[in-house]
Amino acid sequence: MKTDIDDLDLALALRRLADASEPPPIDSRREAELMAAFDAAARSAPPIRRPYWGMAGLAAAAALLIAVGLAPARAGRHGSSSPPLVRGVQTETPGLNNVPSEFVIVPGAAALPPMESGSLIRMDVPVAMLPSLGLTPPAASVAAVKADLIVGQDGLTRAVRLVN
Amino acid sequence: MSESDEDLIAAVAAGNREAFGTLYRRRRADVYRFALHMTGTPSAAEDVAQDVFMVVIHEAKRYSPSRAAVVPWLLGIARNMARRRISERRHEPLPDGADVPGVNADPAEGLARSQRVELLRRALVTLPVPFREAVILCDLQELSYQDAASIAGCALGTVRSRLHRGRQMLAAQMRGERHVTRAWPARQWL
């Protein structure tokens, strides 16, 4: 049968194509780049977290936030005319200029597979790349800016924000 | 006894440099071949393979053996990288076959056979991406339907039907029926 011959031909050709696709030898420069990246990642790896102390720290921070947040409200409710002792949580520190902006979704990210896990990576991004990430380049003439990237389990960037 | 891929990934996640090197040397070829057939160009395949192992550096700790074996996991990452590259160069001309390594062009061994393989390679690159990846994963990488489905993010039955249709389109192209794939906007069909 003609169809069977075609199928067999195709199967043979596919097998030959698979056999004919041997990769070139490993490029030592590329391998060295990877190993350097591995070393850099190992150096910047966060210390091992201790769950107990981590939770205790979180609880303490939460308690502090609640206390700070309630203080102005309590003062107002009792009709005190004196200024509240705590005016609220300070959101900007004078002299600290690396306050991150909001995260924005990278163009095309909505079409990617759902994010199941990911990493937050801070890196220098060339200014020329910012429009493609959906960000407006800064007015200052700099070649690169610091940005936080949310990278999914597939290695593709989902969202980005500028750090400074 | 050599370590399994899963052991190597676990060691990579724990910061074992040697394990990463071993994994790279062992599995680079699988990733490269997949990327080569997907993108059609050796340079793009090299870049995809490099990018995949860059991701492994950061994502090894998130790998779960219960969800996928290591090779399908790597190819899943490669698939996304390759698709992105394909969409970025959608308007570029199709690659020619001159720079494809390993294609047997020895006249004594049969020029016709070489031409047939080359014709198939070029036909494969023109297939719409979902059909192309089904053929590559199942026929060239020889993965199971289950693994191919998990990589492509679709149902097992969908892989079967895409594979069947992809083979049909390839066979038609091999017979010279070029209109079969011309009906599909292959370069834009992601």
Q: How confident is the model over A5-34, as pLDDT tens digits?
A: 577 778 888 888 888 888 899 999 999 999
> What pLDDT, on the 0 to 100 scale, is given for residue B1?
58
Confirm whether A80 is domain-assigned.
no
Same-domain check for residues A94 and A158: yes
Q: Tell me, yes or no, whether A98 and A50 share the same domain.
A: no
Mean pLDDT confidence for A63-72: 52
Q: How many Å lie between the alpha carbon of A39 and the closest alpha carbon of chain B? A: 8
Report strand pairing: A144-152 vs A104-105: unpaired
pLDDT for the residue B146: 92
DSSP state of A161: E
Residue B95, pLDDT score: 53
Please tell me whether residues A110 and A154 are part of one structural domain.
Answer: yes
Same structural domain, A113 and A142: yes
| Chain B residues in contact with A156 (beta carbon < 8 A) | 80-81, 84
Check: CB of residue A127 under 8 Å from CB of residue A143. Answer: yes
Is residue A14 one of the residues assigned to a domain? no
pLDDT of residue A73: 46
Is A117 close to B55, i.e. CB distance below 8 A? no
In angstroms, rounded to a whole number, what is the distance separating the alpha carbons of residues A3 and A24? Answer: 36
| pLDDT value for B14 | 93
Same domain for A59 and A100, yes or no, is no
Q: What is the pLDDT along chain B (190 residues), one digit of tens a residue?
A: 579 999 999 999 999 999 999 999 999 999 999 999 999 999 999 999 999 999 999 999 989 888 889 999 999 999 999 998 888 765 555 555 444 444 444 555 567 777 888 888 989 999 999 999 999 999 999 999 999 999 998 999 999 999 999 999 998 888 876 544 444 444 444 4
- Does the pLDDT value for residue A76 go beyond 50? no
Query: Which residues, in sequence order, are CB contacts of A44 under 8 Å at separation 6+?
Result: none
The pTM score is 0.60
Q: Is residue A139 part of a domain?
A: yes
Same domain assignment for residues A46 and A95: no
Q: What is the pLDDT of residue A35?
A: 93
* Residue A19 falls inside a structural domain: no
> For residue B164, which amino acid is it?
H
Q: What's the pLDDT score for residue B166?
A: 94
Whether residues A69 and A119 share a domain: the answer is no
The answer to whether B77 and B55 are in contact (CB under 8 A) is yes
Is residue B150 within 8 A of residue B72, CB to CB? The reply is yes
ipTM of the complex, rounded to two decimals: 0.76
Task: Write the residue in B76, B140, B171 that is nearest to A17 by C-beta.
Answer: B140
In a domain? residue A43 = yes
B137 part of contact set with chain A, CB < 8 Å: no
> Distance (Å, rounded) from C-alpha A51 to C-alpha A123?
28
Residue A20 lies in a domain: no
* Whether residue A37 is found in the same domain as residue A69: yes
Domain of A70? 27-74
Is residue A48 in some structural domain?
yes
| One domain, residues A102 and A43 | no
> Does A118 reside within a domain?
yes
Which is higher by pLDDT, B46 or A3? B46
Helix (H) or strand (E) holding A4: helix A2-19
Q: Which of A74, A108, A136 is the last residue of a domain?
A: A74
Between B45 and A56, residue with greater pLDDT:
B45
Question: Is pLDDT above 50 for A156?
Answer: yes
Closest Cα partner for B80 from B44, B35, B33? Answer: B35
- Closest-CA distance, B1 to chain A, in angstroms, reads 24
Nearest to A21 among B21, B102, B167 (CB): B102
pLDDT (0 to 100) of residue B186: 42
Rounded to an integer, what distance in angstroms lies between the CA atom of residue B54 and that of residue A82?
58
Residue A101 and residue A67 share a domain: no
Spatial distance between the Cα atoms of B185 and B190, rounded to a whole number of angstroms: 10
Distance CA A105, CA A35 (A): 31
**What per-residue confidence (pLDDT) applies to A128?**
78
Q: Rounded mean pLDDT of A40-59?
A: 62
Shared domain check, A155 and A123: yes
The pLDDT of residue B188 is: 40
Please state the domain count of chain A. 2
What is the DSSP code (8-state) at residue A83?
A: P
Instruction: Look at residue B5 in the predicted model and tell me its pLDDT.
Output: 95
Chain A 48-107, residues with CB within 8 Å of chain B CB atoms: none
Query: Do residue A156 and residue A110 come from a single domain?
Result: yes
Contact partners, residue A140, CB within 8 Å, separation at least 6: none
Asked whether the beta carbons of B17 and A35 are under 8 A apart, the reply is yes
Task: Copy the structure tokens of residue B179.
Answer: 């209109």
- For position A65, what pLDDT does the model report? 57
